[in-house]
Amino acid sequence: MTSGTATRWDPALYAANAAFVPALGAAVLDLLAPRAGEHILDLGCGDGVLTQRLVDAGCTVVGVDADPAMVAAARGRGIDARAGDARALDFAQEFDAVFTNAALHWVGQPEVVTAGVRRALKPGGRYVGEFGGHANIAAIRTALIAVLARHGFPAAASETSYYPTAQAFRAVLEGAGFIVDTCAIIPRPTPLPATGMAGWLETFRGGFIDAAGVPAALKDQIVAETVALLKPALQAANGDWIADYVRIRFSAHLPE
């Protein structure tokens, strides 16, 4: 994933516990409507699962991600994946479109990222993506912070994700000179795989738990207590877990 997160990603863990992330990116790909022959930047390409869909559509694609393990996994698929920081893009009018899925909330500094995206696009270029919006995983974050506080750990400082309202992100896009075609909050309760909430916390909040100062011997207990606290809100009657995801989905373009 992109820079700005305390998490370091394990591609195998991600594939086991988070395969729903690229799977649910199909709607964003439809919004992008990639055309054969286009040159596209996949910002926060991760392990390259969605990037491969762009390649299969006949596009020439460059993937950028800050995590070395994820870049290696994408390269293993044959993707032109490069290590890089979304806040320091060094492309100049190279791409017909920039695509991003489930990455921008990890980065922050939206004005800096958006300015880099603008520089990377050709005149008339498209910027399309989806990421966590206001109130994303609010129950999960609140429960984890409460459990960490119960054990005396300063959780708030480690929770740095960027979850804006649609109005706030629209203003960022327009401030960078983009014409916004759509920018909307989409509540998306998301069924989790068999690994459930514990697997989700291990994959997506393991780094935050570490950053709060939790010793390794206590980490499993923190996860277990968080899972127990979340059961009444997020576990269905049949035992399945549903994460309280809220997304921003957007499409914008530069003037010709």
Residue 24 maps to a domain: yes
- Band (pLDDT 50/70/90 cuts) for residue 242 is very high
Residue 142 lies in a domain: yes
Q: Which of 163, 168, 235, 149 is nearest to 198 (CA)?
A: 235
Runs of H (alpha helix) within the chain: 11-17, 20-23, 26-32, 49-56, 68-76, 104-107, 110-120, 138-150, 166-175, 196-204, 206-211, 216-234
Read off the pLDDT band of 6 (50, 70, 90). very low
The type of residue at 227 is V
- The reported pLDDT for the residue numbered 203 is 87
pLDDT at 4: 43
More confident residue, 158 or 208: 208
Instruction: Inform me whether the pLDDT recorded for 206 exceeds 80.
Output: yes
Residue 1, in any domain of the structure: no
* % of the chain exceeding 70 in pLDDT: 88
Higher local confidence (pLDDT), 6 or 163: 163
pTM: 0.88
pLDDT value at residue 58? 97
Q: What is the secondary structure of 135-186 as a DSSP string? A: TTTHHHHHHHHHHHHHTT---GGG-------HHHHHHHHHHTTPEEEEEEEE
pLDDT digit string, tens, across residues 76-91: 999 999 999 999 999 9
Q: What is the mean pLDDT of residues 112-129?
A: 98
Domain extent for 121: 11-253
Sheet (strand 39-43) strand order: 80-83, 60-65, 39-43, 95-101, 121-132, 242-253, 179-191
pLDDT higher for 136 or 22?
Answer: 136
Tokens, residue 230: 């979340």
Cβ-in-10-Å burial (0-12, 13-18, 19+) of 23 comes to exposed
Greatest Cα pair distance, the chain, in angstroms, is 57
Question: Quick check: is 147 in a domain?
Answer: yes
Provide CB contacts within 8 A for 89, sequence distance 6+: 43, 64, 113, 116, 117, 119, 120
**Could you tell me if residue 108 is inside a domain?**
yes
pLDDT band at 64 (very low <50, low <70, confident <90, very high): very high
**pLDDT recorded at residue 132:** 96
Distance CA 84, CA 60 (A): 18
Q: Given a cut of 90, is residue 233 above it in pLDDT?
A: yes
Q: Is residue 3 a part of any domain in this protein?
A: no
The verdict on residue 152 lying in a domain is: yes
Looking up residue 63, the CATH number of its domain turns out to be: 3.40.50.150
What are the residues whose beta carbons fall under 8 Å from the beta carbon of 3, sequence distance 6 or more?
A: 66, 85, 86, 87, 106, 107
* Cross-strand bridge partners of residue 250: 129, 183
Residue 5 domain-assigned? no
Task: State how many domains the chain has.
Answer: 1
Please give the pLDDT value at position 148: 94
H or E stretch including 214?
A: none
